Structure 1
Amino acid sequence: MKKEFAIIGLGRFGGSICRELVEQGINVLAIDSDEERVNEFANIASHAVVGDTTDETVLKSLGIRNFDHVIVAIGENIQASILTTLILNELGVSNITVKAQNDYHEKVLKKIGADRIVHPERDMGKRIAHHLVHNNVLDYLAVSDEHSIVEIRAGKKLADHTIIGLNVRARFGINIVAIKRNKDIIVSPSAEETIQDEDILIVIGADKDVNKFEKQMVE
């Protein structure tokens, strides 16, 4: 059976998730208290409704507990975000992802049952900062507060070296989990794989270790 998602809050963050899920063929219920926003998504989402999600009866009437995943993307109204999340948890929703405004908001969300908490503005800020500071970093994804997955252009310093010869795990504490080469992706490359100048390395590790690798081994 196809999974069904509900998105509460149709601002820039919630709206972009809605559009992407629909493009992937997923059924989406879009909810917002603003009728104008709901009308905007009426022809995009599977269903779009105006509703106050801080009212338990509204969520019950929408059958919210039957959805596989509910995303709370409410913008500036932290109180509404917290109350909505609390009600979703009490109704037994199995997967709840919530957009957090700040660290305090995140702490509260963790205590009241959010399964996943995202900081889109903070995370995007980190990605942009990495692009600006490290010329060879093509993309950056935080997997925790201290660990990341980073795409790094190999360059001449790493070219013609094998993975085992570089010994990056012992020297830097990072792992090369994949290599992008032209249109191909080598997943879990062997220790004997020779790195080429134009390769893009996908590495995972603690931020401090990845930074050390970038400074010492990447031009």
Structure 2
Amino acid sequence: MAEIRHEPVVVIGLGRFGSALALELERQGTEVLAIDNVDRRVQDLSSQLTHAVTADCTDVEALRQLGVGDFHRAVVAIGDHLEDSILVTSMLVDLEVADIWAKATSAHHGRILERVGAHHVVFPEQDMGQRVAHLVSGNVLDYLKIDADFALAKLRPPREIVDVPLAESTIRSEHGVTVVAVKKDGRSFTYATNETVVSRDDIVLAVGHNDDIERLVDGD
């Protein structure tokens, strides 16, 4: 099997979010150029990342000399300084980086990032808060927001789908939620079909609109 090669990524800003992102990308086999203007942060990660550089992230010439414009994808992980976050995002646009991801700390911040040219805006604190809220409720085993109003939930099966083929259950017609996979007896997940019969001790993966999933879980 041919080795899967990932396109290299620039990560600008090595706070908690940027550091975790850069390390995970490296773990997955992606070459990372990590940049921060705080030398201590760079030194802390230099032994774990292939390329970690101390530079003034708000200096377009410094970014150009580091070859940032040659990268297809970049992540602006600066969260503490909104002006720097916005400025760096706009400089990446000027450098013609094709795929720019940017961290936002508020909806207002996110709108500005989109206006200056970010292709993807992420809200790590907000998204994690929503995920933990679902987990703390005790009814959901895991929760992943896929889009603004769509989610994937890992949960114990609701009563209406237990011991009947999924095609005969009312989960989709009444709740607008689709079971896509089932895990039985501690084994791996398998794709669900119309003929799949779910037991009470199984774990299911369900997709649907956020409100529909929440109503399904709350009503169980």
- Bin of the TM-score, shorter chain as denominator length: over 0.9
1:70 aligned residue: 74
1:145 Cα deviation from its structure 2 partner: 2.6
Q: Among residues 7, 17, 38, which one is paired with 2:11 in the alignment?
A: 7
Measured in 2, the distance between the counterparts of 1:7 and 1:15 equals: 9
1:84 Cα deviation from its structure 2 partner: 0.3
Q: Among residues 134, 137, 148, which one is paired with 2:151 in the alignment?
A: 148
Q: Secondary structure at the match of 1:125?
A: helix
Alignment of 1:172-187 (within 5 A): 172-181=175-184, 182-187=186-191
Q: Among residues 21, 29, 35, which one is paired with 1:17 in the alignment?
A: 21
Contact conserved, 2:160 with 2:170, CA < 8 A, in 1? no
Give the TM-score taking structure 2 as reference length. 0.92
1:167 Cα deviation from its structure 2 partner: 2.9
Q: Among residues 89, 112, 119, which one is paired with 1:85 in the alignment?
A: 89
Paired amino acid for 1:169: R
Residue 55 in structure 1 maps to residue 59 in structure 2: yes
Q: Among residues 106, 109, 118, which one is paired with 1:105 in the alignment?
A: 109
Paired amino acid for 2:93: N
Contact conserved, 2:37 with 2:55, CA < 8 A, in 1? yes
Contact conserved, 2:8 with 2:71, CA < 8 A, in 1? yes
Contact conserved, 2:161 with 2:171, CA < 8 A, in 1? no
Q: Secondary structure at the match of 2:143?
A: strand
Unpaired runs of at least 5, structure 2: none
Q: Secondary structure at the match of 1:71?
A: strand
Measured in 1, the distance between the counterparts of 2:168 and 2:218 equals: 18
Q: Give the share of equivalent positions with the same residue, in percent.
A: 34
1:74 Cα deviation from its structure 2 partner: 0.7
Q: Secondary structure at the match of 2:189?
A: strand
1:21 Cα deviation from its structure 2 partner: 1.1
Measured in 1, the distance between the counterparts of 2:172 and 2:70 equals: 45
Q: How many residues align?
A: 215
Q: Among residues 42, 45, 48, which one is paired with 2:46 in the alignment?
A: 42
Residue 28 in structure 1 maps to residue 32 in structure 2: yes
Contact conserved, 1:155 with 1:198, CA < 8 A, in 2? no
1:156 Cα deviation from its structure 2 partner: 5.9
What RMSD over aligned residues (CA atoms) do the two structures have, in Å?
A: 1.5
Q: Secondary structure at the match of 1:143?
A: strand
Residue 200 in structure 1 maps to residue 203 in structure 2: yes
Give the TM-score taking structure 1 as reference length. 0.92
1:144 Cα deviation from its structure 2 partner: 2.4
Measured in 1, the distance between the counterparts of 2:154 and 2:118 equals: 30
Measured in 2, the distance between the counterparts of 1:171 and 1:155 equals: 13
2:136 aligned residue: 132
Measured in 2, the distance between the counterparts of 1:183 and 1:70 equals: 38
1:180 Cα deviation from its structure 2 partner: 2.4
Contact conserved, 2:162 with 2:200, CA < 8 A, in 1? yes
Measured in 2, the distance between the counterparts of 1:103 and 1:142 equals: 17
Measured in 1, the distance between the counterparts of 2:163 and 2:134 equals: 26
1:158 Cα deviation from its structure 2 partner: 3.6
**Moved >4 Å (runs of 4+):** none
- Cα distance change of structure 1 residues 2 and 208 upon mapping to structure 2, 3 Å threshold: closer
Q: Secondary structure at the match of 2:132?
A: helix
Measured in 2, the distance between the counterparts of 1:212 and 1:75 equals: 34
Contact conserved, 2:161 with 2:170, CA < 8 A, in 1? no
Contact conserved, 1:3 with 1:26, CA < 8 A, in 2? yes
Unpaired runs of at least 5, structure 1: none
